[in-house]
Amino acid sequence: MDLARTLLDTRAAWANSCPGHVASMGGGNADADLPDRTVAPFRRPEIVSADGLWAAARARLAAEDRRCSMPGSRA
């Protein structure tokens, strides 16, 4: 299969698949100003303190999650 030829032949229909597809395929940034609505954020429940190994792991992961989701932080 010739991928380059397939891309050329289908380019006119890229915009039919979804907003932003043209830009993601390297055809420009037509939808660059639109907000990304493809990801729904999950509400993070508060971690209830408990005893045991699983509780400690859960607390540690929650702390890392909060640290990584802070503005300006790097994962």
Which tens digit of pLDDT belongs to each residue from 15-24? 887 767 777 7
Integer distance in angstroms from the first to the last C-alpha of the chain?
A: 38
CA distance 63 to 47: 10
The C-alpha torsion from 50 through 59 and 54 to 40, rounded to 10°, is 120
Q: Where are the alpha helices (DSSP H) in the chain?
A: 3-10, 21-24, 53-68
CA distance 35 to 32: 8
Which residues make Cβ contacts (< 8 Å) with residue 19, sequence separation at least 6? 31, 34
What is the pTM (predicted TM-score) of this model?
0.34
Which tens digit of pLDDT belongs to each residue from 23-54? 777 766 555 556 666 767 677 677 777 889 99
